[in-house]
Structure 1
Amino acid sequence: MSNTPLIAVLMMGILGSIYVAAFRVANNKSERQERRPTDAEDDGTAHGDHEDSADGREDEPTDGLPSATRIGPQWDPGTTVALLAGAGGILTKNTTVFLAGVVGFAYAAYRYGTRPPDLDVSVERAISERSPLPSSDVEIALTVRNEGEKPISDLRIVDGVPERLGVVSGSPRHCTSLRPGEEATFTYEVRARRGTHEFGRTDLVARNVSGSAERRTERDARAPGDAADAATTITCETRADDVPLPADTSSHPGQVTTDSGGEGVEFYATREYQSSDPMSRIDWKRYAKSRELTTVDFRETRAATVMVVVDARTPALVARRAGEPDAVELAEYAAERLAEAFARRNDRVGLSIFGPDERYLAPAGGDEQVARVRAELESTAPPTDRLEGIFSERRRNRANEDRFDTLRKRMPNAAQVVFLSPMADDYAVEVAERFRAYGHAVTVVSPDVTGSGTVGGAIDRIEREERLAGLRGGVRVVDWSPDEPIRAAVSAATARWSG
């Protein structure tokens, strides 16, 4: 019985194994030089960069499609094995060896027989909350639809997540296959931080069945309903328009009402006419009845001078949970919102960072001052005085005393103080009380970052509540939970003050 068929099968198996091994070696060598689509976020390169083809050029785009790039080995193991087998069969006059080259030709035909895939794809991005609160989680849903007439067997997607937003759930990367007209949706969540965050373009990479060619492109994601900018921007800010201030004011016009008469729109009182009074303020109705000249005074509105003081000491570096903004970051967020609100009311606003990275910005008004406040807050460094021990504690206390004395001397005497602090220690209470003792009207805005579910968190919460209760006798207190807008916390505090 002849063993020729068995030998032929064995030879084909051996040559097939050699081809697969050679293809993997060559493919790995080639892919080490190629930027994978899933590395787009790690290597810091721009989205949608292309690798050159084997001859140093990219294939020219046709029919409006993105350029196709041949990937994989720059030499073809299938053709090489087929030629070697054919040559060996001829030299040895062995038909079995010659026919075994069919295996290599089959692999080569499979590789070259599949065309680069089309990439006629649309992208839609839905953002669950475009104006979230700080530290809240925002869900992003990305929908990719095959608008072409041919299937895409291997489609890889990388969404353009804003640099400053961390992904806390899911992944902005996805791999799928799509039939014509089919769509796929995947979701992930990011944690909001203060500021405006722009999404980048979405990277798309489509490969053919054999993985030997691909097309890369970028797409601007549209929003459901094509709402302008709804798919590209998250703005993490909360307006604080209605922060009430005590009646201490400067002479500049503004929106804080006073208990004195003058120019304004709200009636205050009438008085005897003086020759310097303008004609427009004479009470002509009374003159018609009694023939007496009297002048109408209106309740004056004057601008307040407000110092926004951010507690940036080491004890304020506390957060409710890992990965959430600490109290200093929340206070800086609130300080920016408050500065904008005061400037809109024509108040003069200043800024002080009370901590190791000490900053001071003298009170002024206008949009330029708001920009200066924002720049100071964005450039603030975290505290570095984390030394332990009794001597380090004493040194920190002396440093805090020096900072307070310096700040008090630089502040205008009539300035009102908005002190932003988590009230994490007794010294924060002392700072607020000392501001009041020096004649400043004080409002404390305190972000609640006490934890829950642990004994330590419960103790911290009780101690904080006691500190706030002790302050309420002479200081206005806004107890702010980061889960609610500042405006809601201010409204609740205002109702309590007026009640």
Structure 2
Amino acid sequence: MLAAMKNMIWVLLAVFALSLAFLFSSPYAAFSIYAFLFLVGMANVSSRAWLAGLDCTRTISRTSIRQGDSVDISVTIHNKRGWPIPWIFMEDLYPGHCVKVGDNSRLAVLMPGRSISFDYTLIFPKRGYHRIGPLIMETGDLFGLQKRFRTGQQQEYVSVMPTIAYIDTFNVASKRPQGPVKASNKIYEDPTRLAGIREYELGDPMNRIDWKASARTGELFTKIYEPSSVQGGTLILDLHADSYVSEEAARRQELAITTAASMAYLLQISGEQLGLLTNGMDAAELAQYEVEAHRELSREDIEQKASLEKESTRISPLQVPTLKSPIQAQKIIDNLARIIPGYGLDASRLLMEEFRGLPRDATLIPIVPYVSEQFALTLAEMKLSGFSVTVFLIRDKKGYDEAAALLAQHQINVFHIMEESDLHEIAPQKIGHY
């Protein structure tokens, strides 16, 4: 925008000077101004034409990697027009935290119908969904009067997996006298173990009605029994942006994601069912693989437009249904690689909205940055509804004692994860029961 204004100012000055030349009857001055305007016009036309005839493609060696792995990138630019480009400078954009090996830019002369390419390597040290591109192309006229910039239309994304803390011994199931559950989404209840009561619903059998509670309240209530076994778990990951407001927000978010990924892997290798429910957002929903080719007169403007992403309109939770599958953990970890903080439901409202669709034979495993009184009451309601609950509190040294006290009132166990190494010290027998 600033460059366009400068060009307009030069044109206005030239027109003003031309008017003065006519006013003072100076043919040499008028001829000079005509020549200058002709050169400016030729510069504008030639720079536009050179950029219009370019095609660019990019190939990457891998799209899914672990932290610290490298990706090889090759960029090719083809001049499909019938005229040469005297000079062109190309630079491929990449995330600033990556380590680059080789040159991601090139200055060249591009003849008609010919192609040029360059290769480089990126090392990705951080989890996330990282964008490579677009390509920025810069050229100008032979007189140096004007430069033009254009972006390519292709972008690539690399998914970097979260860290997984490996634990040798793990068992999330709380075994009951009747033995294990044979079907992951069907609950076999133990009528000798009363878990709580709930309001009567149409279709409840008469032998399930709690007549004492119904007589006291004047409303019908139905008994809830504990399942004969609690197997596996549903990970409830709180990644609401407002839940992480301290100076360590990014570190705590990554530790929460590491905890979720580690639990998913460990549930998988122990042969349990598992699932994920989170209020975070999937960065893939914001990704743009094909973008409009922007054209600008300044590098600042083109870089600003190249950095734009879509805005997410998602308010519903991100979920991987709880079930037993040989690829279930990989599905969850793939989602965790792309996840970013969301702005939808907080943890309490998330559970209240979604718990009816969660299997009660799987332990609820909330992974949260803090425990409020409201959230503790929500978990207590989940337990009364028949769920087994175990909480993972992420790096909250000041709030841990209060959280433990709030949850102890409802006989809910809590693990405090200050560092990744704490995941190796989990007592397996405490997962799934108090």
Report the TM-score, using the length of structure 1 for normalisation.
0.39
Q: Which has the higher contact order (CA 8 A, sep 6+)?
A: 2
Normalising to structure 2: TM-score of the pair? 0.43
Instruction: Decide which structure has the larger Cα Rg and report it.
Output: 1
